[in-house]
């Protein structure tokens, strides 16, 4: 799929990706004042689209931004954009910016919100090799955004610290970065949630994170299959001392870690709980359940 | 309608072509740094300090713009020169400089950066009346970014908290300008402007932990020396603002804006104070522009006319 054939939905129109442009004075750009959500399609079905739309709606409400389209019409645009891109396995991003206020006006309620949807080929945070052997993570010094500054539950475009964390990890040879909060509690990484396995049970931080849909799916699968899972505050120690650590994301599903900060996790191999959850997740993705079809049957 | 000329990704183009690829991480992640300078009668003011601050931001976020500071400074001056013929009708310009991370699915593989330098009219109408009436401040509940997460010294486009603060301020006072605190409850700054107050003849401002290193903020220290007014940096709390004799904001476009109300209560006498007047007077003399008169003159013209560059 060449980049040229991809289209972007931009404020009511489908435009070739290379022609999509936005004003530099849109506050979505100037201040990262926009919210988004990311869904993915696998085998031509978009996973848990209603759950993603609901989370987007909550981000919008928290940010006091109005979506230009009602939920049903937005769902149609997401499906249509993916269809026009011809992608069966896709990573689909929906962005609502606050827009641009009239010149000289400080009142942000006078902004006209903008809507953009684009689809690109599905991508994994960990590459194929790391999916087999387990990835290497670094707990970086860049801290998660404190909830009192900008709550990470709002999926906003103000996330330069995520790129800085990733670059910090990469420059030290790690595949991914994990961030602590100001009190040293484990939060999440750029675009993924974290699970620790200890004594057969799974644990995931409860607060100061994006409430990941894949994370939620792990909780649901665990309940269905009798796997113990809990929300728990975790420190770096808990990661180092874990039997297994895995990551969850719309960009890659369930992904194993083998090493954190130079310490092997468990026996340094992706573990049995990871494998179980991974297989359950992908069985779900391959099934008809929770999937919105992109292409007509 | 003629268009301003701008520098964008190595080329001189009409401003209308300076538009961002939404797949650039500058937009997708707010991974972009910027700076804004201004002119006085068409002459740039402390441009090198703005360029140096931009390069500190770039260094912090690990973006290489592919231009040296000297080159970017030359381009910024050239943007002003190229648009000089259109300046008369708007008085003066802001000069915007920005550098994005560039396009890419992953931060470490993204690029090349998009580099833009453009002029925009000042936007006097946002503040021209406030020299006489004073701005209304509101101490909002959204906190300044923690330097542990993303240092507020970096001038970046990841500042949704600033707009949340704007909305919270207007809930309290329709004319409210947000004032932020850090997680310890100390006053920090506004949303693109620094905060000062005056207590018994001393100008006080938060230290530069967790605030933008404002070029106009630095100017206040210089003017204080010149006028013989002590200027100190210290931890300040809302108490200090509520009990101050005067308060003011500093920012590139308005330079100094008096603050006469905070959280709907008067600051000092509730009118712009004598130290603000002295600072504006001294600043005007140095740049050869009556800052207040210029804003009052151009604000109504701005409103009458459909602006370029926006």
| H-only helix segments in chain B | 25-28, 47-61, 69-82, 130-133, 160-172, 215-227, 238-242, 274-287, 291-304
How far is the alpha carbon of A61 from chain B, nearest alpha carbon, in Å? 12
Chain A residue closest in CA terms to B60: A164
Cβ pair A22:B157 closer than 8 A: no
Q: What is the pLDDT of residue A217?
A: 98
Chain A residue closest in CA terms to B141: A148
Cβ pair B158:A32 closer than 8 A: yes
Q: What is the pLDDT of residues A209-256, one digit of tens each?
A: 999 999 999 999 999 999 999 999 999 999 999 999 999 999 999 999
Q: For chain A, which residues make up each domain, given as ranges?
A: 3-121, 128-286
Smallest Cβ–Cβ distance between A33 and the set B61, B124, B160 belongs to: B160
- Reported as a pLDDT band with limits 50, 70 and 90, residue B114 is very high
Smallest Cβ–Cβ distance between B156 and the set A95, A142, A160 belongs to: A160
On average, the pLDDT of chain A sits at 96
Q: Return the minimum-mean-pLDDT range out of A19-33, A98-112, B223-237, B256-270.
A: A98-112
Q: Return all residues near A297 (Cβ < 8 A) that are at least 6 apart.
A: none
Above 80 in pLDDT, residue A144? yes
Q: b or e along A86-111 (b: 16 or more beta carbons within 10 Å of the residue's beta carbon)?
A: ebbebbbbbbbbbbbbebbebebeeb
Cβ pair A160:B19 closer than 8 A: no
Q: What is the pLDDT of residues B173-187, one digit of tens each?
A: 999 999 999 999 999
- Reported as a pLDDT band with limits 50, 70 and 90, residue A42 is very high
Cβ pair A160:B125 closer than 8 A: no
How far is the alpha carbon of B127 from chain A, nearest alpha carbon, in Å? 9
Fold adopted by A3-121: D-amino Acid Aminotransferase; Chain A, domain 1 (3.30.470)
Report d(CA B151, CA B142) in Å as an integer: 16
> Which candidate in B14, B15, B20, B22 is best for mutational testing of the A interface (most A CBs within 10 A)?
B22
Chain B residue closest in CA terms to A63: B164
Chain B residue closest in CA terms to A167: B108
Cβ pair A170:B32 closer than 8 A: no
Say how many Å lie between the first and final Cα of chain B, rounded.
13
Q: What is the pLDDT of residues A44-70, one digit of tens each?
A: 999 999 999 999 999 999 999 999 999
> Which candidate in B4, B13, B19, B29 is best for mutational testing of the A interface (most A CBs within 10 A)?
B29
Q: What is the pLDDT of residue B303?
A: 62
Q: Return the minimum-mean-pLDDT range out of A143-147, B79-83, B306-310.
A: B306-310
Report d(CA B88, CA A77) in Å as an integer: 46
Report d(CA B81, CA B73) in Å as an integer: 13
The distance from CA A133 to its chain's CA centroid, rounded to whole angstroms, is: 23
On average, the pLDDT of chain B sits at 95
Q: What is the pLDDT of residues B185-210, one digit of tens each?
A: 999 999 999 999 999 999 999 999 98
Helix (H, G, I), strand (E, B) or coil at A37: strand
Q: What is the pLDDT of residue A5?
A: 72
- Reported as a pLDDT band with limits 50, 70 and 90, residue A3 is low
The mean pLDDT value for B264-274 works out to 98
Q: What is the pLDDT of residue B310?
A: 43
The DSSP-derived string for B56-114 is HHHHHHT---SS-HHHHHHHHHHHHHHTGGGTTTTS-EEEEEEEE--B-SSGGG--PPP
Residues of chain B neighbouring A164 (CB-CB closer than 8 A): 61-62, 150
Cβ pair B25:A22 closer than 8 A: no
Task: Tell me the two tokens of residue A10.
Answer: 């931009």
Domains of chain B as residue ranges with CATH: 5-121 (3.30.470.10), 130-295 (3.20.10.10)
* Alpha carbon distances (Å) from A168 to A93, A188, A237: 25, 15, 20
Residue A204 near residue A195, CB atoms below 8 Å: yes
Tell me the longest C-alpha to C-alpha distance in chain A. Answer: 61
Q: What is the pLDDT of residue B309?
A: 47
Above 90 in pLDDT, residue A105? no
Q: Name which of A213, A205, A214 is nearest A253 in CA terms.
A: A214
Which burial class, exposed, middle or buried, applies to B281 when counting CB atoms under 10 A from its CB (0-12, 13-18, 19+)? middle
Q: Name which of A35, A55, A20, A27 is nearest A216 in CA terms.
A: A55
Fold adopted by A128-286: D-amino Acid Aminotransferase; Chain A, domain 2 (3.20.10)
Residues of chain A neighbouring B307 (CB-CB closer than 8 A): 103-104
Chain B residue closest in CA terms to A143: B149
The mean pLDDT value for B30-54 works out to 98
Q: Name which of B177, B179, B101, B87 is nearest B133 in CA terms.
A: B177
How far is the alpha carbon of A224 from chain B, nearest alpha carbon, in Å? 34
How far is the alpha carbon of A75 from chain B, nearest alpha carbon, in Å? 20
> Which candidate in A119, A161, A176, A251 is best for mutational testing of the B interface (most B CBs within 10 A)?
A161
Q: Is B157 on the interface with A (CB under 8 A)?
A: yes
Chains A, B: CB pairs < 8 Å: 175
Q: What is the pLDDT of residue A2?
A: 53
- Reported as a pLDDT band with limits 50, 70 and 90, residue A103 is confident
Smallest Cβ–Cβ distance between B146 and the set A23, A32, A143 belongs to: A143
Q: Name which of B108, B112, B23, B29 is nearest A127 in CA terms.
A: B108
Residue B61 near residue B150, CB atoms below 8 Å: no
Q: Is B94 on the interface with A (CB under 8 A)?
A: no
Report d(CA B90, CA A173) in Å as an integer: 52
Helix (H, G, I), strand (E, B) or coil at A91: strand
Cβ pair B158:A29 closer than 8 A: no
Q: Name which of A192, A182, A190 is nearest A147 in CA terms.
A: A182
> Which candidate in B149, B162, B211, B305 is best for mutational testing of the A interface (most A CBs within 10 A)?
B149
How far is the alpha carbon of B222 from chain A, nearest alpha carbon, in Å? 30
Q: What is the pLDDT of residue A161?
A: 98
Report d(CA A113, CA A115) in Å as an integer: 7
Cβ pair A163:B162 closer than 8 A: no
- Reported as a pLDDT band with limits 50, 70 and 90, residue B21 is very high
Q: What is the pLDDT of residue B260?
A: 98
Report d(CA B68, CA B66) in Å as an integer: 7
The mean pLDDT value for A9-18 works out to 96
Q: Return the minimum-mean-pLDDT range out of A104-118, A263-277, B245-259, B293-307.
A: B293-307
Task: Tell me the two tokens of residue B213.
Answer: 């290193």
Say how many Å lie between the first and final Cα of chain A, rounded.
22
Report d(CA B298, CA A70) in Å as an integer: 42
Q: What is the pLDDT of residue B1?
A: 43
Q: What is the pLDDT of residue B306?
A: 46
Task: Tell me the two tokens of residue B79.
Answer: 């943007």
Q: Which letter does DSSP use for residue A143 in this model?
A: P
Report d(CA A194, CA A210) in Å as an integer: 11
Sheet strands side by side (includes A34-42): A13-16, A7-10, A114-121, A90-97, A34-42, A45-47, A291-293
The mean pLDDT value for B275-296 works out to 98
Report d(CA A137, CA A195) in Å as an integer: 13
Task: Tell me the two tokens of residue A174.
Answer: 């790690």
Give this prediction's pTM.
0.95
Above 80 in pLDDT, residue B307? no
Residue B165 near residue B237, CB atoms below 8 Å: no
Cβ pair B28:A157 closer than 8 A: yes
Report d(CA B27, CA B113) in Å as an integer: 12
Above 90 in pLDDT, residue A22? yes
């Amino acid at each position: 799929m060449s980049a040229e054939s991809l289209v972007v939905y931009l404020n009511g129109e489908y435009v070739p990706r290379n022609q999509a442009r936005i004003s530099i004075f849109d506050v979505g750009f100037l201040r990262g004042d926009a919210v988004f959500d990311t869904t993915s399609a696998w085998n031509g079905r978009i996973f848990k689209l209603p759950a993603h739309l609901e989370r987007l709606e909550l981000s919008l409400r928290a940010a006091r931004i109005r979506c230009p389209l009602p939920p049903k019409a937005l769902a149609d645009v997401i499906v249509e954009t993916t269809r026009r891109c011809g992608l069966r396995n896709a990573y689909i991003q929906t962005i609502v910016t606050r827009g641009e206020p009239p010149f000289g006006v400080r009142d942000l309620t006078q902004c006209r919100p903008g809507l953009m949807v684009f689809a690109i080929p599905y991508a994994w945070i960990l590459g194929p090799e790391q999916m087999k052997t387990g990835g290497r993570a670094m707990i970086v010094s860049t801290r998660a955004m404190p909830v009192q500054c900008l709550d990470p539950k709002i999926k906003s475009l103000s996330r330069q610290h995520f790129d800085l964390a990733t670059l910090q990890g990469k420059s030290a040879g790690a595949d991914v970065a994990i961030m602590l909060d100001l009190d040293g509690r484990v939060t999440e990484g750029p675009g993924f949630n974290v699970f620790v396995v200890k004594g057969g049970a799974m644990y995931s931080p409860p607060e100061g994170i994006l409430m990941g849909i894949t994370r939620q799916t792990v909780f649901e699968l665990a309940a269905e299959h009798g796997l113990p899972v809990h929300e728990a505050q975790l420190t770096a120690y808990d990661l180092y001392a874990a039997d297994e650590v895995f990551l969850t994301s719309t960009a890659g599903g369930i992904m194993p870690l083998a090493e954190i900060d130079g310490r092997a996790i468990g026996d340094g191999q992706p573990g049995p709980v990871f494998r179980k959850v991974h297989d359950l997740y992908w069985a779900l993705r391959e099934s008809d359940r929770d999937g919105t079809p992109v292409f007509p049957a | 309608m003629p268009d301003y000329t701008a520098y964008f990704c190595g080329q001189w183009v009409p401003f209308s072509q300076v538009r961002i690829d939404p797949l650039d991480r500058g937009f997708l992640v707010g991974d972009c740094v910027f700076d804004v300078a201004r002119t006085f009668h068409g002459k740039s003011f402390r441009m090198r300090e703005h360029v140096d601050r931009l390069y500190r931001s770039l260094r912090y976020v690990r973006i290489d713009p592919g231009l040296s500071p000297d080159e970017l400074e030359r381009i910024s001056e050239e943007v002003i020169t190229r648009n000089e013929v259109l300046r008369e009708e708007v008085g003066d310009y802001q000069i915007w400089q920005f550098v994005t991370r560039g396009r890419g699915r992953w931060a470490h593989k993204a690029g090349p950066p998009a580099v833009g330098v453009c002029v925009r009219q000042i936007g006097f109408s946002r503040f021209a009346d406030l020299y006489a009436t004073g701005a209304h401040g509101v101490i909002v509940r959204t906190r300044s970014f923690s330097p542990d997460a993303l240092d507020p010294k970096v001038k970046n486009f990841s500042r949704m908290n600033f707009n949340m603060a704007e909305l919270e301020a207007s809930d309290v006072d329709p004319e409210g300008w947000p004032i932020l605190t850090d997680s310890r409850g100390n006053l920090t700054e506004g949303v693109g402007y620094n905060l000062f107050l005056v207590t018994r003849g001393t100008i006080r401002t938060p230290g530069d932990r967790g605030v933008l290193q404002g070029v106009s903020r630095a100017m206040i220290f210089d003017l204080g020396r010149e006028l013989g007014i002590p200027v100190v940096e210290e931890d300040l709390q809302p108490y200090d603002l509520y009990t101050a004799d005067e308060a003011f904001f500093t920012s590139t476009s308005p330079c100094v804006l008096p603050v006469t109300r905070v959280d709907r209560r008067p600051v000092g006498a509730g009118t712009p104070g004598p130290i603000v007047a002295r600072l504006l007077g001294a600043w005007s003399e140095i740049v050869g522009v009556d800052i207040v008169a210029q804003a009052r003159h151009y604000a109504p013209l701005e409103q009458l006319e459909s602006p370029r560059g926006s």
